[in-house]
Amino acid sequence: MDAALDTDYAPLAAELRERDAVGLVVVGDRFDDDLRYCSRFSGPDRDHAFVLTPGSDGDGHTALCAPALFDEQARREFPGDAVRVERQGDPAGVRAAAALADAGHDSGTVLVPQGIPHDAAVYLEDAGYAVASTDALARARERKTDAEIDRLRRVQRAAIRGIRRAEAVLAEATVDAETDEVRWNGGVLSTERLRRQVNETLAAHGVRDAGNTVVGAGSTAADLHYTGTDVIRAGETVLLDVSPRGPDGYYGDVTRTFAVDPDGGWDRRAYLAVEAAREAALEEVAAGVPASTVHEEAAAELAAHGFRVDDDEVGFTHSTGHGVGVSLHEGPSLTADRELAAGNVLTIEPGVYDPDEGGVRLEDLIVVTESGFEFLGEYPFSLVPRERE
């Protein structure tokens, strides 16, 4: 077991001072990632609250208003100052207001994420506070600490094991010459059968698919987020996008594309183009580089290979990447007009799609450094699946 994961509250405390606010309040359930980041608390599925107040030394004082039934777990997981379990019957917004009042503030500005539950915002207003939104949390989350990078790396390694399992299955698979169906282990191989092989591997390594293990084949490989069932056929591109969540809430994210008996037409052209775009994007990455430059270089490379980059369905239809942390998608986006910073953890994921042909995407997870980047887990790629030891 690792030590509990700390959160650096200093940038949030600085935001309080800068905005002359009496507190920062985050309310949500276990599925709220801002709250997870602030509290490191993994349950329950009803609203609870995190409250940051300036504190006596300006360093900030942090409290978690937790459900009494989760008291022990909250004390185990919360790296902040105080777990409060009083006023169980009250809504989380009311309990947050009580924590603010106990800290000596019964009026003033309270900062909240813009998506805070409406009732919590109204309770805070009713208690006499002016509610103002802040993106300080989203900004703080973009710069990962070493401990966070360590978590991300471990989840990514498990994700890669999922890809490795899928590639092994595809390498073992055979083709039914009559029907063109791909067969494995005595039966037809569907996207769902392959997905379950991946998800079993994830579970065996202590991470979980978050209902989003994408496996598409042929036309459904051109659907960016396919989680349905399709028979896999010879020659079809099989696209696997594996993004599990680890026990501390951090995600991995890796994509590989294979084909059993590829015909060397569109799939081969697409693969070469995506490979080149990946290289072009990675070459740009470093602290201080405008994020959009990375995307533009990937797009230029794909365009140079003859793929469209201006359509919703055909060609390169999405951004080259996004930040990953306690949310699968967080800042910075690689289409954003701003500079990358050391500690940003990003996907690099060029891809091209054609509903008549299939889809090819390659995705890796990296951390930005001053001089470039490091991979958080590496795995080779080739259109034809291989047994790898």
Site for its own copies in 197-256 (CB under 8 A): 199-200, 202-206, 208-212, 223-229, 245, 247
Residue nearer to its own copies on the CB measure, 59 or 72: 72
- The secondary structure of 309-366 as a DSSP string is SS-SSSB--S-S--B-SSSSSBSPPTTSSSB--TT-EEEE--EEEETTTEEEE-BEEE
Stretch that binds its own copies, among 42-50, 172-180, 285-293, 380-388 (CB under 8 A): 42-50
Q: Shortest gap between Cβ of 374 and its own copies (angstroms)?
A: 25
- Please give the backbone phi and psi of residue 194, each rounded to the nearest 5 degrees, phi first: -65, -40
Residue nearer to its own copies on the CB measure, 120 or 360: 120
The strand pairing partners of 375, in sequence order, are 366
Residue nearer to its own copies on the CB measure, 79 or 247: 247
For residue 109, is it left (φ>0), alpha (ψ between -120 and 50) or beta? beta
Q: Shortest gap between Cβ of 53 and its own copies (angstroms)?
A: 20
- Residue 308 burial (10 A CB sphere; 0-12, 13-18, 19+): middle
Q: Shortest gap between Cβ of 104 and its own copies (angstroms)?
A: 25
Two tokens, residue 116: 């805070």
Contact 84, 95 (CB under 8 A): yes
Question: What amino acid occupies position 78?
Answer: F
Two tokens, residue 377: 């887990």
Contact 195, 212 (CB under 8 A): no
Q: Shortest gap between Cβ of 283 and its own copies (angstroms)?
A: 26
Binding track, positions 108-147, relative to its own copies; x by CB under 8 A? ----x-xxxxxxxx---------x-x--------------
Q: Shortest gap between Cβ of 272 and its own copies (angstroms)?
A: 25
Residue nearer to its own copies on the CB measure, 10 or 68: 68
Residue nearer to its own copies on the CB measure, 145 or 229: 229
Q: Shortest gap between Cβ of 31 and its own copies (angstroms)?
A: 4
For residue 24, is it left (φ>0), alpha (ψ between -120 and 50) or beta? beta
Total binding residues for its own copies by CB under 8 A? Answer: 56
Q: Which is nearest to 257 in space by CA: 231, 279, 224?
A: 224
Question: What amino acid occupies position 104?
Answer: G
The strand pairing partners of 9, in sequence order, are none
Residue nearer to its own copies on the CB measure, 231 or 383: 231
Indicate if the alpha-carbon torsion angle 151, 42, 158, 375 is positive or negative.
Answer: negative
Residue nearer to its own copies on the CB measure, 53 or 319: 319
Residue nearer to its own copies on the CB measure, 36 or 144: 36
Q: Shortest gap between Cβ of 22 and its own copies (angstroms)?
A: 18
Residue 72 lies near its own copies (rule: CB under 8 A): yes
What b-and-e string marks burial along 154-178, b requiring 16 or more CB atoms within 10 Å of the CB? bbbbbbbbbbbbbbbbbeebebeee
Q: In what order do the strands lie in the sheet with 364-368?
A: 345-348, 364-368, 373-375
Two tokens, residue 40: 């490191």
Q: CA–CA separation, 286 vs 341, rounded Å? A: 7
Q: Which of 8, 11, 17, 46 binds its own copies (CB under 8 A)?
A: 46
Residue 288 lies near its own copies (rule: CB under 8 A): no
Stretch that binds its own copies, among 98-106, 153-161, 290-298, 312-320 (CB under 8 A): 312-320
Residue 185 lies near its own copies (rule: CB under 8 A): no
Residue nearer to its own copies on the CB measure, 257 or 319: 319
Binding track, positions 165-184, relative to its own copies; x by CB under 8 A? --------------------
Helix axes 191-204, 146-172, angle to 10 degrees: 140
Contacting positions for its own copies (CB under 8 A): 1, 31-32, 42-47, 68-73, 76, 112, 114-121, 131, 133, 192, 196, 199-200, 202-206, 208-212, 223-229, 245, 247, 312, 317-318, 327-329
